[in-house]
Amino acid sequence: EKGVVWRKLKPLEENDYPHRDRAFYSLACNHCAAPICVEVCPVGAHVKREKDGIVVHSSDKCIYCRQCIEACP
């Protein structure tokens, strides 16, 4: 069964970090100015708060279709 992953792992190029065979860096939500996750979610599980611009995810509404994860830059 697939789990839900809210962070993306990206590999570092070998010449960027030469002391490791393989290294990664972790990316979390960037709280985009125009978050695509809010647009693609079919059930409105993502909302961008007006007061502070934070993108909030509601696990109660989420149907785990992963459209937000696929669309996220």
> The tokens of 33 are what?
């100015």
Backbone angles phi, psi at 20, to 5 degrees: -130, 150
Round to whole Å and give the CA distance between 63 and 36.
Answer: 17
Round to whole Å and give the CA distance between 40 and 31.
Answer: 15
Residues near 24 by Cβ (< 8 Å), separated by ≥ 6?
A: 9, 10, 11, 12
Would you state the CATH architecture of domain 8-71? 2-Layer Sandwich (3.30)
Per-residue model confidence as pLDDT tens for the chain (73 residues): 455 556 677 777 666 555 656 777 777 788 899 999 999 999 999 999 999 999 998 989 999 898 998 898 8
Nearest to 4 by CA among 64, 54, 68: 64
Domain positions in the chain: 8-71
Q: Judge if pTM exceeds 0.85.
A: no
